[in-house]
Structure 1
Protein backbone atom coordinates (compact mmCIF):
# COMPACT_ATOMS: atom_id res chain seq x y z
CA UNK A 1 0.00 0.00 0.00
CA UNK A 2 1.28 3.47 -0.84
CA UNK A 3 1.53 6.17 1.81
CA UNK A 4 -1.29 8.67 2.14
CA UNK A 5 -2.37 11.61 4.29
CA UNK A 6 -5.28 11.27 6.70
CA UNK A 7 -7.65 14.03 7.80
CA UNK A 8 -10.77 13.99 9.94
CA UNK A 9 -13.56 16.30 8.79
CA UNK A 10 -15.54 18.09 11.49
CA UNK A 11 -18.21 19.38 9.10
CA UNK A 12 -19.63 18.63 5.69
CA UNK A 13 -18.21 21.92 4.42
CA UNK A 14 -14.71 20.97 5.52
CA UNK A 15 -15.04 17.52 3.93
CA UNK A 16 -16.09 19.09 0.64
CA UNK A 17 -13.17 21.55 0.71
CA UNK A 18 -10.74 18.70 1.30
CA UNK A 19 -12.40 16.68 -1.43
CA UNK A 20 -11.96 19.50 -3.90
CA UNK A 21 -8.20 19.08 -3.66
CA UNK A 22 -8.81 16.46 -6.36
CA UNK A 23 -9.69 17.88 -9.75
CA UNK A 24 -9.90 14.49 -11.48
CA UNK A 25 -12.90 12.28 -12.06
CA UNK A 26 -14.53 10.76 -8.98
CA UNK A 27 -13.18 7.28 -9.68
CA UNK A 28 -9.42 7.20 -9.09
CA UNK A 29 -9.50 10.60 -7.36
CA UNK A 30 -6.54 11.57 -5.21
CA UNK A 31 -8.86 12.38 -2.27
CA UNK A 32 -11.32 9.85 -0.92
CA UNK A 33 -13.96 10.07 1.79
CA UNK A 34 -13.88 7.08 4.15
CA UNK A 35 -16.56 5.79 6.52
CA UNK A 36 -16.56 2.04 7.23
CA UNK A 37 -13.80 1.43 4.69
CA UNK A 38 -15.05 -2.09 3.95
CA UNK A 39 -14.41 -1.69 0.20
CA UNK A 40 -11.89 1.14 -0.07
CA UNK A 41 -9.24 -0.37 2.19
CA UNK A 42 -9.36 -3.64 0.23
CA UNK A 43 -8.88 -1.80 -3.05
CA UNK A 44 -6.02 0.23 -1.60
CA UNK A 45 -4.26 -2.94 -0.47
CA UNK A 46 -4.65 -4.36 -3.98
CA UNK A 47 -3.30 -1.18 -5.57
CA UNK A 48 -6.55 -0.56 -7.44
CA UNK A 49 -7.28 2.62 -5.49
CA UNK A 50 -4.34 4.79 -4.46
CA UNK A 51 -5.60 8.06 -2.98
CA UNK A 52 -3.09 10.57 -1.73
CA UNK A 53 -5.45 11.63 1.04
CA UNK A 54 -8.26 10.00 3.02
CA UNK A 55 -10.90 12.17 4.67
CA UNK A 56 -12.60 10.52 7.64
CA UNK A 57 -16.27 11.59 7.65
CA UNK A 58 -17.43 9.39 10.54
CA UNK A 59 -17.84 12.37 12.89
CA UNK A 60 -20.34 14.15 10.65
CA UNK A 61 -24.01 14.15 11.79
CA UNK A 62 -25.14 11.80 9.04
CA UNK A 63 -25.90 8.62 10.99
CA UNK A 64 -29.62 8.97 11.66
CA UNK A 65 -32.77 7.47 10.17
CA UNK A 66 -35.67 9.90 10.51
CA UNK A 67 -39.20 10.38 9.23
CA UNK A 68 -39.88 12.87 6.44
CA UNK A 69 -42.89 15.15 6.60
CA UNK A 70 -45.62 13.75 4.39
CA UNK A 71 -44.23 10.24 4.77
CA UNK A 72 -41.02 8.57 3.76
CA UNK A 73 -37.67 8.13 5.46
CA UNK A 74 -34.41 10.05 5.46
CA UNK A 75 -31.42 7.71 5.73
CA UNK A 76 -28.10 9.36 6.59
CA UNK A 77 -25.07 8.40 4.55
CA UNK A 78 -23.31 7.10 7.68
CA UNK A 79 -26.11 4.81 8.83
CA UNK A 80 -24.59 1.34 9.15
CA UNK A 81 -26.11 -1.45 7.10
CA UNK A 82 -26.99 -3.51 10.20
CA UNK A 83 -28.81 -0.60 11.82
CA UNK A 84 -30.74 0.21 8.66
CA UNK A 85 -31.75 -3.41 8.08
CA UNK A 86 -33.08 -3.74 11.63
CA UNK A 87 -34.76 -0.32 11.83
CA UNK A 88 -38.42 -0.82 12.75
CA UNK A 89 -39.81 1.45 10.03
CA UNK A 90 -37.61 -0.13 7.36
CA UNK A 91 -38.64 -3.66 8.34
CA UNK A 92 -42.32 -2.69 8.42
CA UNK A 93 -42.64 -0.42 5.36
CA UNK A 94 -39.57 -1.10 3.21
CA UNK A 95 -39.07 -4.83 3.69
CA UNK A 96 -37.28 -5.13 0.35
CA UNK A 97 -34.48 -2.90 1.65
CA UNK A 98 -34.12 -4.74 4.95
CA UNK A 99 -34.00 -8.10 3.16
CA UNK A 100 -31.49 -6.88 0.59
CA UNK A 101 -29.14 -5.56 3.26
CA UNK A 102 -29.33 -8.75 5.31
CA UNK A 103 -28.55 -10.85 2.24
CA UNK A 104 -25.24 -9.07 1.68
CA UNK A 105 -21.75 -9.63 3.12
CA UNK A 106 -21.43 -10.85 6.72
CA UNK A 107 -22.72 -9.54 10.03
CA UNK A 108 -19.29 -8.08 10.83
CA UNK A 109 -19.12 -6.18 7.53
CA UNK A 110 -22.72 -4.97 7.84
CA UNK A 111 -21.83 -3.52 11.23
CA UNK A 112 -19.20 -1.33 9.56
CA UNK A 113 -20.53 -0.70 6.04
CA UNK A 114 -22.39 2.58 5.56
CA UNK A 115 -25.30 3.59 3.36
CA UNK A 116 -23.13 6.01 1.38
CA UNK A 117 -20.31 3.51 1.02
CA UNK A 118 -22.67 0.78 -0.17
CA UNK A 119 -24.13 3.20 -2.68
CA UNK A 120 -20.61 3.69 -4.11
CA UNK A 121 -19.50 0.06 -3.84
CA UNK A 122 -17.28 -0.91 -6.78
CA UNK A 123 -17.43 -3.99 -8.95
CA UNK A 124 -16.09 -7.38 -7.94
CA UNK A 125 -14.92 -8.16 -11.49
CA UNK A 126 -11.75 -10.25 -11.20
CA UNK A 127 -9.92 -8.21 -13.81
CA UNK A 128 -10.76 -4.89 -12.15
CA UNK A 129 -9.15 -6.12 -8.93
CA UNK A 130 -6.07 -7.56 -10.68
CA UNK A 131 -3.46 -4.95 -11.58
CA UNK A 132 -1.82 -7.32 -14.03
CA UNK A 133 -4.91 -7.53 -16.27
CA UNK A 134 -6.21 -4.89 -18.70
CA UNK A 135 -9.30 -3.13 -17.37
CA UNK A 136 -10.84 0.00 -18.85
CA UNK A 137 -12.54 0.78 -15.56
CA UNK A 138 -9.25 0.79 -13.67
CA UNK A 139 -7.05 2.09 -16.50
CA UNK A 140 -9.04 3.69 -19.35
CA UNK A 141 -7.93 2.57 -22.78
CA UNK A 142 -6.17 -0.59 -21.60
CA UNK A 143 -8.93 -2.95 -22.78
CA UNK A 144 -11.43 -5.29 -21.12
CA UNK A 145 -10.02 -8.72 -20.34
CA UNK A 146 -13.43 -9.95 -19.18
CA UNK A 147 -14.82 -9.86 -22.73
CA UNK A 148 -13.82 -13.27 -23.98
CA UNK A 149 -12.30 -14.07 -20.59
CA UNK A 150 -13.73 -15.26 -17.28
CA UNK A 151 -17.14 -13.58 -17.28
CA UNK A 152 -19.54 -16.06 -15.66
CA UNK A 153 -20.55 -13.60 -12.92
CA UNK A 154 -20.64 -10.46 -15.06
CA UNK A 155 -23.36 -8.36 -16.68
CA UNK A 156 -25.85 -9.12 -19.44
CA UNK A 157 -27.51 -5.69 -19.36
CA UNK A 158 -26.01 -2.23 -19.88
CA UNK A 159 -22.72 -3.54 -21.21
CA UNK A 160 -20.49 -2.00 -23.87
CA UNK A 161 -17.46 -3.05 -25.86
CA UNK A 162 -15.39 -1.41 -23.12
CA UNK A 163 -16.83 -2.98 -19.96
CA UNK A 164 -19.16 -5.76 -18.78
CA UNK A 165 -18.64 -5.44 -15.00
CA UNK A 166 -21.62 -5.76 -12.67
CA UNK A 167 -22.70 -3.45 -9.87
CA UNK A 168 -22.27 -5.69 -6.80
CA UNK A 169 -24.60 -4.05 -4.27
CA UNK A 170 -27.82 -5.63 -3.00
CA UNK A 171 -28.87 -2.39 -1.30
CA UNK A 172 -28.68 -0.47 -4.59
CA UNK A 173 -31.12 -2.87 -6.23
CA UNK A 174 -33.66 -2.36 -3.45
CA UNK A 175 -33.21 1.42 -3.54
CA UNK A 176 -33.87 1.34 -7.30
CA UNK A 177 -37.15 -0.54 -6.84
CA UNK A 178 -38.11 1.94 -4.11
CA UNK A 179 -37.26 4.92 -6.37
CA UNK A 180 -35.03 6.50 -3.74
CA UNK A 181 -33.57 9.99 -4.07
CA UNK A 182 -29.85 10.60 -3.46
CA UNK A 183 -29.00 13.91 -1.76
CA UNK A 184 -25.57 15.35 -2.59
CA UNK A 185 -23.63 18.39 -1.39
CA UNK A 186 -20.76 19.82 -3.37
CA UNK A 187 -19.04 22.99 -4.52
CA UNK A 188 -22.22 24.20 -6.22
CA UNK A 189 -24.49 23.55 -3.25
CA UNK A 190 -27.04 20.80 -2.77
CA UNK A 191 -28.79 18.71 -5.39
CA UNK A 192 -31.06 15.68 -5.49
CA UNK A 193 -30.56 12.88 -7.99
CA UNK A 194 -33.12 10.09 -8.55
CA UNK A 195 -31.50 6.71 -7.96
CA UNK A 196 -32.23 5.73 -11.56
CA UNK A 197 -30.06 8.61 -12.77
CA UNK A 198 -27.32 8.28 -10.17
CA UNK A 199 -25.53 5.28 -11.73
CA UNK A 200 -24.00 5.37 -15.21
CA UNK A 201 -23.67 2.56 -17.73
CA UNK A 202 -20.08 2.14 -18.97
CA UNK A 203 -20.47 3.22 -22.60
CA UNK A 204 -17.15 4.72 -23.74
CA UNK A 205 -16.22 5.86 -20.22
CA UNK A 206 -16.41 2.83 -17.89
CA UNK A 207 -14.25 4.61 -15.33
CA UNK A 208 -17.24 6.89 -14.59
CA UNK A 209 -19.66 4.88 -12.49
CA UNK A 210 -21.94 7.60 -11.15
CA UNK A 211 -22.74 11.30 -11.41
CA UNK A 212 -20.55 12.45 -8.50
CA UNK A 213 -18.05 15.21 -9.17
CA UNK A 214 -14.85 16.02 -7.23
CA UNK A 215 -15.71 17.12 -3.70
CA UNK A 216 -19.27 15.78 -3.85
CA UNK A 217 -20.49 14.29 -0.60
CA UNK A 218 -23.56 12.05 -0.39
CA UNK A 219 -25.37 13.26 2.72
CA UNK A 220 -28.45 11.05 2.75
CA UNK A 221 -30.88 8.94 0.78
CA UNK A 222 -34.61 9.64 0.91
CA UNK A 223 -37.19 6.89 0.56
CA UNK A 224 -40.63 8.00 -0.68
CA UNK A 225 -43.69 7.19 1.37
CA UNK A 226 -44.92 3.68 0.58
CA UNK A 227 -48.16 3.36 -1.36
CA UNK A 228 -51.17 2.26 0.67
CA UNK A 229 -51.41 -1.51 0.68
CA UNK A 230 -48.10 -2.04 -1.11
CA UNK A 231 -45.80 -4.93 -0.26
CA UNK A 232 -42.21 -5.67 -1.17
CA UNK A 233 -39.47 -8.28 -1.07
CA UNK A 234 -36.01 -9.26 -2.25
CA UNK A 235 -34.84 -12.56 -3.69
CA UNK A 236 -31.16 -13.31 -4.23
CA UNK A 237 -29.76 -16.29 -6.12
CA UNK A 238 -26.08 -17.08 -5.62
CA UNK A 239 -23.53 -19.88 -5.64
CA UNK A 240 -23.62 -20.34 -1.86
CA UNK A 241 -25.98 -19.40 0.93
CA UNK A 242 -23.94 -16.66 2.60
CA UNK A 243 -21.23 -14.07 2.00
CA UNK A 244 -21.64 -14.26 -1.75
CA UNK A 245 -22.57 -11.82 -4.48
CA UNK A 246 -25.70 -12.32 -6.57
CA UNK A 247 -25.74 -14.20 -9.84
CA UNK A 248 -29.24 -12.79 -10.18
CA UNK A 249 -31.51 -10.99 -7.76
CA UNK A 250 -34.85 -9.21 -7.87
CA UNK A 251 -36.28 -6.39 -5.77
CA UNK A 252 -40.05 -6.15 -6.12
CA UNK A 253 -42.66 -3.63 -4.94
CA UNK A 254 -46.30 -4.45 -5.68
CA UNK A 255 -49.67 -2.90 -4.98
CA UNK A 256 -52.50 -5.33 -5.64
CA UNK A 257 -56.17 -4.41 -5.35
CA UNK A 258 -59.19 -6.40 -6.38
CA UNK A 259 -57.04 -9.25 -7.64
CA UNK A 260 -55.15 -7.04 -10.09
CA UNK A 261 -51.80 -5.26 -10.03
CA UNK A 262 -52.18 -1.49 -9.68
CA UNK A 263 -48.52 -0.57 -9.18
CA UNK A 264 -45.28 -2.47 -9.81
CA UNK A 265 -41.60 -1.71 -9.49
CA UNK A 266 -38.94 -4.30 -10.32
CA UNK A 267 -35.16 -3.98 -10.21
CA UNK A 268 -32.62 -6.70 -10.92
CA UNK A 269 -29.17 -7.23 -9.46
CA UNK A 270 -26.22 -9.37 -10.47
CA UNK A 271 -27.07 -8.95 -14.15
CA UNK A 272 -26.48 -5.27 -14.95
CA UNK A 273 -23.62 -2.81 -15.05
CA UNK A 274 -25.84 -0.81 -12.73
CA UNK A 275 -28.94 -1.82 -10.72
CA UNK A 276 -31.23 -2.75 -13.59
CA UNK A 277 -34.79 -1.40 -13.62
CA UNK A 278 -37.13 -3.79 -15.44
CA UNK A 279 -39.54 -1.21 -16.82
CA UNK A 280 -40.96 -3.50 -19.52
CA UNK A 281 -41.86 -6.04 -16.86
CA UNK A 282 -43.52 -3.35 -14.75
CA UNK A 283 -45.61 -2.19 -17.67
CA UNK A 284 -46.66 -5.75 -18.43
CA UNK A 285 -48.02 -6.09 -14.91
CA UNK A 286 -50.19 -2.99 -14.62
CA UNK A 287 -53.82 -4.15 -14.67
CA UNK A 288 -52.76 -7.79 -14.92
CA UNK A 289 -54.42 -10.40 -12.70
CA UNK A 290 -52.67 -11.68 -9.59
CA UNK A 291 -51.67 -15.01 -11.15
CA UNK A 292 -48.61 -17.12 -11.84
CA UNK A 293 -49.14 -16.53 -15.56
CA UNK A 294 -48.77 -12.78 -15.04
CA UNK A 295 -45.54 -13.25 -13.11
CA UNK A 296 -44.16 -15.42 -15.89
CA UNK A 297 -45.07 -12.92 -18.60
CA UNK A 298 -43.42 -10.13 -16.61
CA UNK A 299 -40.31 -12.24 -16.13
CA UNK A 300 -40.09 -12.85 -19.86
CA UNK A 301 -40.31 -9.11 -20.47
CA UNK A 302 -37.63 -8.45 -17.83
CA UNK A 303 -34.92 -10.33 -19.72
CA UNK A 304 -35.61 -9.07 -23.22
CA UNK A 305 -32.60 -7.33 -24.71
CA UNK A 306 -30.08 -9.25 -22.62
CA UNK A 307 -26.62 -9.53 -24.17
CA UNK A 308 -24.82 -12.51 -22.63
CA UNK A 309 -21.10 -13.12 -22.86
CA UNK A 310 -19.23 -16.38 -23.51
CA UNK A 311 -19.84 -17.85 -20.03
CA UNK A 312 -22.93 -16.16 -18.57
CA UNK A 313 -25.78 -17.00 -20.93
CA UNK A 314 -27.36 -19.03 -18.11
CA UNK A 315 -28.15 -15.73 -16.37
CA UNK A 316 -31.02 -15.06 -18.77
CA UNK A 317 -32.99 -18.05 -17.54
CA UNK A 318 -31.81 -17.57 -13.96
CA UNK A 319 -32.91 -13.92 -13.91
CA UNK A 320 -36.24 -14.85 -15.46
CA UNK A 321 -36.94 -17.43 -12.78
CA UNK A 322 -35.73 -15.06 -10.08
CA UNK A 323 -38.13 -12.31 -11.13
CA UNK A 324 -41.09 -14.69 -11.46
CA UNK A 325 -40.46 -16.21 -8.03
CA UNK A 326 -39.89 -12.83 -6.37
CA UNK A 327 -43.19 -11.58 -7.77
CA UNK A 328 -44.97 -14.70 -6.53
CA UNK A 329 -43.40 -14.34 -3.08
CA UNK A 330 -44.42 -10.70 -2.72
CA UNK A 331 -47.93 -11.28 -4.11
CA UNK A 332 -48.48 -13.99 -1.50
CA UNK A 333 -47.76 -11.64 1.40
CA UNK A 334 -50.76 -10.78 3.53
Structure 2
Protein backbone atom coordinates (compact mmCIF):
# COMPACT_ATOMS: atom_id res chain seq x y z
CA UNK A 1 0.00 0.00 0.00
CA UNK A 2 1.35 3.43 -0.90
CA UNK A 3 1.78 5.61 2.22
CA UNK A 4 -0.30 8.76 2.37
CA UNK A 5 0.19 11.93 4.41
CA UNK A 6 -2.44 10.78 6.92
CA UNK A 7 -0.75 7.46 7.65
CA UNK A 8 1.88 6.99 10.38
CA UNK A 9 5.33 6.24 8.97
CA UNK A 10 8.55 5.14 10.61
CA UNK A 11 11.24 4.48 8.04
CA UNK A 12 14.96 4.95 8.40
CA UNK A 13 14.69 6.12 12.01
CA UNK A 14 12.30 8.98 11.21
CA UNK A 15 9.82 9.32 14.11
CA UNK A 16 6.23 8.44 13.37
CA UNK A 17 4.14 11.56 12.91
CA UNK A 18 1.50 11.93 15.62
CA UNK A 19 -1.75 12.98 13.98
CA UNK A 20 -4.94 14.42 15.41
CA UNK A 21 -6.30 10.93 15.78
CA UNK A 22 -9.88 10.71 17.02
CA UNK A 23 -9.20 7.51 18.95
CA UNK A 24 -6.62 9.22 21.20
CA UNK A 25 -7.75 12.86 21.49
CA UNK A 26 -6.24 13.46 24.93
CA UNK A 27 -3.00 11.63 24.24
CA UNK A 28 -2.04 13.22 20.92
CA UNK A 29 -0.91 16.58 22.29
CA UNK A 30 0.67 15.11 25.41
CA UNK A 31 2.74 12.75 23.28
CA UNK A 32 3.82 15.56 20.96
CA UNK A 33 5.02 17.47 24.02
CA UNK A 34 6.85 14.39 25.28
CA UNK A 35 8.66 14.05 21.96
CA UNK A 36 9.48 17.75 21.69
CA UNK A 37 10.96 17.73 25.20
CA UNK A 38 13.06 14.62 24.49
CA UNK A 39 11.17 12.47 27.01
CA UNK A 40 10.28 9.40 24.93
CA UNK A 41 12.87 7.26 26.74
CA UNK A 42 11.47 8.44 30.07
CA UNK A 43 7.98 7.51 28.93
CA UNK A 44 9.17 4.02 27.96
CA UNK A 45 10.82 3.63 31.37
CA UNK A 46 7.63 4.71 33.15
CA UNK A 47 5.61 2.15 31.22
CA UNK A 48 8.14 -0.68 31.57
CA UNK A 49 9.50 -0.18 35.08
CA UNK A 50 7.05 2.17 36.80
CA UNK A 51 9.55 4.98 37.36
CA UNK A 52 12.02 7.18 35.50
CA UNK A 53 14.79 9.68 36.22
CA UNK A 54 14.83 13.05 34.46
CA UNK A 55 18.39 14.30 34.62
CA UNK A 56 19.09 18.01 35.20
CA UNK A 57 15.40 18.72 35.78
CA UNK A 58 16.49 21.61 38.00
CA UNK A 59 19.36 23.98 37.34
CA UNK A 60 22.22 24.30 39.82
CA UNK A 61 20.83 27.68 40.84
CA UNK A 62 17.37 26.22 41.48
CA UNK A 63 18.80 23.36 43.54
CA UNK A 64 20.81 25.73 45.72
CA UNK A 65 17.90 28.14 46.14
CA UNK A 66 15.28 25.49 47.00
CA UNK A 67 17.66 23.69 49.36
CA UNK A 68 18.58 26.92 51.12
CA UNK A 69 14.95 27.99 51.56
CA UNK A 70 13.94 24.56 52.84
CA UNK A 71 16.74 24.64 55.41
CA UNK A 72 15.62 28.12 56.52
CA UNK A 73 11.97 27.04 56.78
CA UNK A 74 12.92 23.82 58.59
CA UNK A 75 15.14 25.64 61.09
CA UNK A 76 12.32 28.06 61.90
CA UNK A 77 9.90 25.15 62.28
CA UNK A 78 12.23 23.07 64.48
CA UNK A 79 13.75 25.91 66.45
CA UNK A 80 17.35 24.83 65.84
CA UNK A 81 20.15 25.10 63.31
CA UNK A 82 20.68 22.33 60.76
CA UNK A 83 24.06 21.20 59.43
CA UNK A 84 23.78 20.09 55.80
CA UNK A 85 27.14 18.31 55.74
CA UNK A 86 27.60 17.09 59.33
CA UNK A 87 24.13 16.68 60.87
CA UNK A 88 23.91 13.78 63.31
CA UNK A 89 20.22 13.99 64.32
CA UNK A 90 16.90 13.41 62.50
CA UNK A 91 17.28 9.64 62.25
CA UNK A 92 13.58 9.47 61.49
CA UNK A 93 12.63 11.42 58.38
CA UNK A 94 11.07 14.81 59.14
CA UNK A 95 8.36 15.87 56.71
CA UNK A 96 8.19 19.63 56.11
CA UNK A 97 4.69 20.24 54.66
CA UNK A 98 2.84 22.96 52.79
CA UNK A 99 5.86 24.63 51.19
CA UNK A 100 4.18 26.03 48.08
CA UNK A 101 3.05 29.32 49.61
CA UNK A 102 6.24 29.79 51.64
CA UNK A 103 8.07 31.08 48.56
CA UNK A 104 6.70 31.87 45.10
CA UNK A 105 9.67 30.21 43.46
CA UNK A 106 8.43 26.78 44.55
CA UNK A 107 5.96 27.24 41.67
CA UNK A 108 8.87 26.49 39.34
CA UNK A 109 8.99 22.90 40.56
CA UNK A 110 5.27 22.36 39.96
CA UNK A 111 5.15 23.80 36.43
CA UNK A 112 8.49 22.40 35.25
CA UNK A 113 7.70 21.52 31.60
CA UNK A 114 9.45 18.13 31.60
CA UNK A 115 8.16 16.79 34.88
CA UNK A 116 4.62 18.16 34.50
CA UNK A 117 4.32 16.65 31.02
CA UNK A 118 5.14 13.18 32.35
CA UNK A 119 2.78 13.68 35.30
CA UNK A 120 0.03 14.71 32.86
CA UNK A 121 0.64 11.52 30.89
CA UNK A 122 0.16 9.47 34.05
CA UNK A 123 -2.79 11.36 35.55
CA UNK A 124 -4.50 13.25 32.73
CA UNK A 125 -4.87 16.91 31.87
CA UNK A 126 -7.24 17.57 34.79
CA UNK A 127 -4.86 16.33 37.50
CA UNK A 128 -4.24 18.47 40.58
CA UNK A 129 -1.40 19.05 43.03
CA UNK A 130 -1.97 17.05 46.20
CA UNK A 131 0.96 18.27 48.28
CA UNK A 132 4.36 19.91 48.08
CA UNK A 133 6.77 19.18 50.91
CA UNK A 134 10.23 18.02 51.86
CA UNK A 135 11.45 14.74 53.36
CA UNK A 136 14.45 15.81 55.43
CA UNK A 137 16.57 12.90 56.63
CA UNK A 138 19.60 12.63 58.92
CA UNK A 139 21.69 9.55 59.78
CA UNK A 140 20.24 6.51 61.55
CA UNK A 141 16.80 4.98 61.71
CA UNK A 142 15.35 2.17 59.64
CA UNK A 143 14.38 4.10 56.54
CA UNK A 144 10.91 4.31 55.02
CA UNK A 145 9.50 0.85 54.33
CA UNK A 146 8.41 -0.08 50.82
CA UNK A 147 4.84 0.88 49.96
CA UNK A 148 2.63 2.05 47.12
CA UNK A 149 1.12 5.55 47.11
CA UNK A 150 -2.15 4.08 45.84
CA UNK A 151 -3.45 3.95 49.39
CA UNK A 152 -6.17 6.60 49.48
CA UNK A 153 -8.87 4.11 50.37
CA UNK A 154 -8.35 2.24 47.08
CA UNK A 155 -8.48 -1.52 47.74
CA UNK A 156 -6.45 -4.23 46.04
CA UNK A 157 -6.31 -4.98 43.17
CA UNK A 158 -5.23 -1.56 41.91
CA UNK A 159 -6.10 -0.32 38.43
CA UNK A 160 -3.46 -0.41 35.67
CA UNK A 161 -3.65 3.38 35.34
CA UNK A 162 -2.30 5.74 37.97
CA UNK A 163 -4.58 7.49 40.47
CA UNK A 164 -1.65 9.38 42.02
CA UNK A 165 1.92 10.09 40.97
CA UNK A 166 5.04 11.50 42.55
CA UNK A 167 7.77 13.83 41.31
CA UNK A 168 10.69 13.77 43.73
CA UNK A 169 13.41 16.36 43.13
CA UNK A 170 16.79 15.48 44.64
CA UNK A 171 18.20 18.61 46.31
CA UNK A 172 21.24 16.69 47.55
CA UNK A 173 23.07 13.85 45.82
CA UNK A 174 21.24 10.54 46.29
CA UNK A 175 23.32 7.50 47.32
CA UNK A 176 22.22 4.34 49.08
CA UNK A 177 24.45 5.10 52.08
CA UNK A 178 23.07 8.63 52.05
CA UNK A 179 19.43 7.49 52.32
CA UNK A 180 18.40 7.43 48.67
CA UNK A 181 15.00 6.51 47.32
CA UNK A 182 14.35 2.79 47.02
CA UNK A 183 12.37 1.33 44.11
CA UNK A 184 11.14 -2.07 42.99
CA UNK A 185 11.21 -2.03 39.17
CA UNK A 186 8.03 -3.35 37.57
CA UNK A 187 6.06 -3.37 40.82
CA UNK A 188 3.43 -1.05 39.32
CA UNK A 189 2.15 -4.18 37.56
CA UNK A 190 1.58 -6.06 40.82
CA UNK A 191 -1.57 -3.95 41.42
CA UNK A 192 -1.30 -4.25 45.20
CA UNK A 193 0.57 -3.11 48.28
CA UNK A 194 3.68 -5.07 49.26
CA UNK A 195 3.20 -7.64 52.00
CA UNK A 196 4.94 -7.38 55.36
CA UNK A 197 7.73 -9.62 54.04
CA UNK A 198 8.22 -7.43 50.95
CA UNK A 199 8.70 -4.10 52.73
CA UNK A 200 12.14 -4.29 54.34
CA UNK A 201 15.17 -2.28 53.22
CA UNK A 202 18.00 -3.11 55.60
CA UNK A 203 19.91 -6.13 56.83
CA UNK A 204 18.28 -9.54 56.68
CA UNK A 205 14.88 -7.94 56.11
CA UNK A 206 15.92 -6.28 52.83
CA UNK A 207 13.57 -7.20 49.99
CA UNK A 208 15.59 -8.98 47.32
CA UNK A 209 14.30 -6.96 44.35
CA UNK A 210 14.71 -3.43 45.73
CA UNK A 211 17.25 -1.06 44.16
CA UNK A 212 18.65 2.34 45.19
CA UNK A 213 18.03 5.37 42.98
CA UNK A 214 21.47 6.98 43.02
CA UNK A 215 21.34 10.30 41.17
CA UNK A 216 22.96 13.74 41.42
CA UNK A 217 21.19 16.75 42.89
CA UNK A 218 18.90 18.37 40.33
CA UNK A 219 17.48 15.07 39.10
CA UNK A 220 13.76 14.36 39.24
CA UNK A 221 12.44 10.87 39.95
CA UNK A 222 8.89 10.33 38.71
CA UNK A 223 6.88 7.22 39.42
CA UNK A 224 3.52 5.59 38.82
CA UNK A 225 1.25 5.59 41.87
CA UNK A 226 1.29 1.79 42.07
CA UNK A 227 5.09 1.49 42.19
CA UNK A 228 6.61 0.15 45.40
CA UNK A 229 9.10 2.61 46.84
CA UNK A 230 10.61 3.79 50.11
CA UNK A 231 13.94 5.21 51.25
CA UNK A 232 17.07 3.61 52.65
CA UNK A 233 18.35 4.56 56.11
CA UNK A 234 21.07 7.21 55.98
CA UNK A 235 24.40 5.86 57.22
CA UNK A 236 26.55 8.97 56.76
CA UNK A 237 26.54 12.36 58.54
CA UNK A 238 24.62 15.24 57.00
CA UNK A 239 21.16 15.64 55.51
CA UNK A 240 19.34 14.21 52.53
CA UNK A 241 16.89 16.82 51.27
CA UNK A 242 14.25 16.54 48.56
CA UNK A 243 11.31 18.49 47.19
CA UNK A 244 8.36 16.17 46.85
CA UNK A 245 5.59 17.15 44.43
CA UNK A 246 2.68 14.75 44.85
CA UNK A 247 -0.17 14.82 42.31
CA UNK A 248 -3.55 13.10 42.06
CA UNK A 249 -6.51 12.80 39.75
CA UNK A 250 -9.26 15.34 40.22
CA UNK A 251 -11.64 12.89 41.92
CA UNK A 252 -9.20 12.29 44.82
CA UNK A 253 -9.07 14.71 47.75
CA UNK A 254 -5.65 16.41 47.85
CA UNK A 255 -3.48 16.09 50.94
CA UNK A 256 -3.04 19.86 51.28
CA UNK A 257 -5.74 22.51 50.87
CA UNK A 258 -4.80 24.78 47.97
CA UNK A 259 -8.12 25.52 46.31
CA UNK A 260 -9.45 27.66 49.16
CA UNK A 261 -6.19 29.20 50.34
CA UNK A 262 -4.44 30.72 47.29
CA UNK A 263 -2.91 34.08 48.34
CA UNK A 264 -4.25 37.01 46.32
CA UNK A 265 -0.84 37.82 44.83
CA UNK A 266 0.31 34.25 44.20
CA UNK A 267 -0.97 33.58 40.66
CA UNK A 268 0.24 35.58 37.68
CA UNK A 269 -2.86 35.71 35.45
CA UNK A 270 -2.67 33.87 32.14
CA UNK A 271 0.94 32.82 32.81
CA UNK A 272 -0.23 30.71 35.75
CA UNK A 273 -3.41 29.37 34.15
CA UNK A 274 -2.25 25.74 34.34
CA UNK A 275 -1.00 26.25 37.88
CA UNK A 276 -4.41 27.59 38.90
CA UNK A 277 -5.99 24.39 37.59
CA UNK A 278 -3.41 22.32 39.45
CA UNK A 279 -4.48 24.12 42.62
CA UNK A 280 -8.14 23.22 42.05
CA UNK A 281 -9.65 26.22 40.27
CA UNK A 282 -11.38 23.99 37.72
CA UNK A 283 -12.58 21.17 39.97
CA UNK A 284 -16.01 19.87 39.05
CA UNK A 285 -16.92 19.05 42.66
CA UNK A 286 -17.23 21.22 45.74
CA UNK A 287 -19.91 23.50 44.28
CA UNK A 288 -21.85 26.14 46.20
CA UNK A 289 -24.91 28.18 45.09
CA UNK A 290 -24.16 27.66 41.41
CA UNK A 291 -24.84 23.97 41.79
CA UNK A 292 -23.33 21.20 39.63
CA UNK A 293 -22.92 23.28 36.45
CA UNK A 294 -19.24 22.47 36.05
CA UNK A 295 -19.91 18.83 36.86
CA UNK A 296 -22.47 18.62 34.04
CA UNK A 297 -20.14 20.42 31.63
CA UNK A 298 -17.29 18.05 32.50
CA UNK A 299 -19.54 15.01 32.14
CA UNK A 300 -20.68 16.21 28.72
CA UNK A 301 -17.06 16.75 27.75
CA UNK A 302 -16.26 13.19 28.81
CA UNK A 303 -19.25 11.78 26.92
CA UNK A 304 -18.04 13.46 23.73
CA UNK A 305 -14.54 12.08 24.22
CA UNK A 306 -13.14 8.61 23.67
CA UNK A 307 -12.45 7.00 27.09
CA UNK A 308 -8.85 7.71 28.04
CA UNK A 309 -6.77 7.80 31.22
CA UNK A 310 -5.23 11.07 29.99
CA UNK A 311 -8.51 13.02 30.24
Q: TM-score, normalised by structure 1?
A: 0.24
Which structure is larger by alpha-carbon Rg, 1 or 2?
Answer: 2
Instruction: Using structure 2 for the length normalisation, give the TM-score.
Output: 0.25
